[in-house]
């Protein structure tokens, strides 16, 4: 069938799902797969949250509700998110969404005109670029520079991309896929830049509470930033609620009215009874969420230990997210891989270990010469992590042996 809208040519996808499909097809052929490709959680939602949602369902909370979300959840989220970020928030600053992802598109719809420039991280969440291009914006990627402790934003690259049409800055601290975390000085630099060039900022804080050490900080807490920042908030990562589709936009009240109007047009409202699960997540027993963090930290530590024991791999260990982003340049060269896809697919078929590559998070920026892959450890238990890493060590060890013969 022909005649589809031309703008669909600009619509991208979440490429990790493509890798997931390939791994599933390989498994269907009778092969063992170790799934490190998708940032989903194999851990259950805490029972008190499930019980609250089921009670609301049984109590008849199944009809339409306000487009901005039920007042009880908006009030509670304003209180909790404000306290965590050390900013003052009220109900009018919160609009509930069916997940965190809609905040990206509504931020762009509300603030970007066709032709406007939008700075976004690359490597980064692929939906940023997809939505910018779909709505007719100029996608302006900025990269990261490897540092002693993780990755730093390439500031020169950012400043070179800004011109009179640049309007938005997407900032993902506690970053997917690379785990980058800004220093206080780097975050202040982003804030100064936004104010200097009058940019709106989308602060993607999906992993704000997925933290194993230290304390998270929001750019919205810096002077002059709350009035030009929209926070992307999601319940998915903290409470193992990825399939519940519950999140929120947090920002200036006038802009949040626009988000609520977009809700009316796009979804009418967020699922009614699920929002009561959100209230319990914020106000109820936190031991389930704490147990999630304990388990994820264990997985991170075991996976990082294995990766850093393999010759030719260098892996920074971030204090947040549930991803590792090791450099594999030497192994890539030893395999004489023709492309990232060749590298990924060959390892899947040789070992059953499935992961994403740097290319699944944006087209490499000119000048990149190092090779990286991403491991998600949120959806694979410790025994499987160990088994998969043993297969990988064995395979890459055999490459070393061949190279030295």
Distance, C-alpha 280 to centroid of its chain? 24
pLDDT at 151 over 50: yes
**What gap in Å lies between CA 83 and CA 89, rounded to an integer?**
9
pLDDT at 404 over 60: no
321 neighbors 210 (Cβ within 8 angstroms): yes
Q: In this predicted structure, what is the pLDDT of residue 402?
A: 60
351/35 Cα distance (integer angstroms): 11
Whether the pLDDT of residue 94 is over 50: the answer is yes
Query: Which stretches of 150-271 are DSSP H helices?
Result: 155-161, 184-196, 253-266
pLDDT digits (tens, 9 = 90+) for 245-279: 999 999 999 999 999 999 999 999 999 999 999 99
What is the Cα–Cα distance from 357 to 368, expressed in whole angstroms?
14
Sort strands 373-376 and 150-153 into parallel, antiparallel or unpaired: unpaired
- Sorting pLDDT into bands at 50, 70 and 90, what band is 244? very high
Pairing of strands 117-121, 323-324: unpaired
Report in angstroms the alpha-carbon separations of 239 from 153, 210, 379.
29, 10, 14
Q: How many residues does the chain have?
A: 405
Residue 394: count other Cβ atoms within 10 Å of its Cβ.
11
What are the residue ranges of helices labelled H in 284-381? 287-308, 329-334, 340-351
| 161 — pLDDT class (breaks 50, 70, 90) | very high
Alpha carbon distance 366, 354 (integer Å): 27
In this predicted model, what pLDDT tens digit does every residue of 4-21 receive, in sequence order?
A: 998 898 898 888 888 999
Helix or strand run (H / E) with residue 262: helix 253-266
**How far apart are the C-alpha atoms of 219 and 252, rounded to whole Å?**
14
- HSE of 108 in the Cβ direction (CA atoms, 13 Å)? 25
C-alpha 355/C-alpha 300 separation (Å) is 15
**% of residues, the chain, pLDDT over 90:** 87
Q: Hey, how many other C-beta atoms are within 10 angstroms of the C-beta on 342?
A: 13
- CA-closest candidate to residue 343, choices 335, 265, 295: 335
**CB neighbours of residue 39 within 10 Å:** 24
pTM (predicted TM-score): 0.94
Per DSSP, the residues of 342-400 read HHHHHHHHHH-EE-EEGGGGSPPPTT----BEEEE-TTS-HHHHHHHHHHHHHHHHHHH
**pLDDT value for 397:** 79
Q: Which of 145-149, 314-318, 355-359 has the lowest mean pLDDT?
A: 145-149
Report the distance separating Cα 41 and Cα 39, nearest Å: 7
Q: Are 306 and 393 in contact (CB under 8 A)?
A: yes
Q: What is the pLDDT of residues 278-335, one digit of tens each?
A: 999 999 999 999 999 999 999 999 999 999 998 889 999 999 999 999 999 998 998 8
Q: What does DSSP say about strands 200-204 and 229-234: parallel, antiparallel, or unpaired?
A: parallel
How confident is the model at residue 1, as a pLDDT? 47
pLDDT of 399 reads 73
**Beta-carbon-side half-sphere exposure of residue 319 (alpha carbons within 13 Å):** 12
Instruction: Place 148 in a pLDDT band, splitting at 50, 70 and 90.
Output: confident
- What the chain holds in terms of domains, given with CATH numbers, is 6-44+288-400 (3.90.1150.10), 49-283 (3.40.640.10)
Q: Which two tokens stand for residue 179?
A: 């785990």
Section 138-151 average pLDDT: 92
Query: How do residues 53-80 score in pLDDT, each as one tens digit?
Result: 999 999 999 999 999 999 999 999 999 9
Please state the separation of Cα 95 from the chain's center in Å.
20
In angstroms, the CA 27 to CA 18 distance is 14
Q: What is the mean pLDDT of the chain?
A: 94
């Amino acid at each position: 069938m022909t005649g589809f809208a031309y703008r669909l040519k600009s619509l991208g996808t979440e490429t990790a799902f493509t890798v997931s499909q390939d791994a599933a097809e390989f498994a269907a052929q009778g092969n063992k797969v170790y799934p490190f490709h998708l940032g989903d959680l194999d851990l259950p939602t805490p029972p008190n949250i499930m019980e609250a949602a089921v009670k609301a369902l049984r109590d008849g909370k199944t009809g339409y509700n306000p487009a901005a979300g039920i007042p009880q959840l908006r009030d509670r989220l304003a209180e909790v998110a404000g306290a965590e970020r050390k900013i003052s928030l009220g109900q009018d600053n919160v609009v509930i969404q069916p997940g965190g992802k809609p905040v990206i598109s509504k931020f762009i719809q509300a603030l970007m005109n066709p032709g406007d420039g939008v700075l976004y991280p690359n490597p980064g969440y692929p939906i940023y670029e997809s939505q910018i291009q779909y709505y007719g914006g100029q996608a302006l990627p900025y990269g990261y520079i490897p540092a002693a402790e993780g990755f730093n934003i390439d500031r020169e690259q950012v400043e070179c991309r800004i011109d009179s049409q640049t309007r938005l800055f997407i900032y993902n601290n506690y970053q997917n896929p690379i785990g980058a975390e800004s220093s206080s000085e780097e975050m202040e630099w982003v804030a100064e830049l936004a104010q200097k060039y009058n940019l709106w900022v989308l602060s993607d804080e999906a992993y704000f509470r997925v933290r194993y050490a230290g304390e998270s900080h929001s750019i919205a807490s810096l002077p002059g930033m709350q009035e030009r920042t929209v926070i992307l908030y999601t319940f998915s990562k903290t409470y193992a609620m990825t399939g519940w589709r519950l999140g929120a936009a947090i920002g200036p009240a006038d802009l949040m009215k626009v988000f609520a109007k977009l809700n009316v047009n796009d979804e009418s409202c967020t699922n009614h009874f699920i929002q009561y699960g959100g209230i319990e997540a914020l106000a109820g027993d936190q031991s389930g969420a704490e147990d999630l963090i304990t388990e994820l930290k264990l997985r991170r530590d075991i996976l990082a230990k294995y990766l850093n024991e393999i010759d030719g791999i260098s892996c920074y260990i971030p204090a947040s997210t549930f991803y590792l982003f090791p450099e594999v340049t030497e192994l890539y060269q030893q395999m004489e891989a023709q492309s990232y896809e060749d590298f990924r697919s060959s390892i899947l078929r040789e070992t059953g270990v499935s992961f994403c590559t740097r290319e699944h998070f944006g087209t490499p920026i000119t000048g990149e010469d190092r090779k990286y892959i991403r491991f998600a450890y949120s959806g694979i238990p410790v025994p499987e992590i160990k088994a998969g890493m043993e297969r990988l060590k064995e395979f890459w060890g055999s490459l070393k042996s061949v190279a030295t013969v």
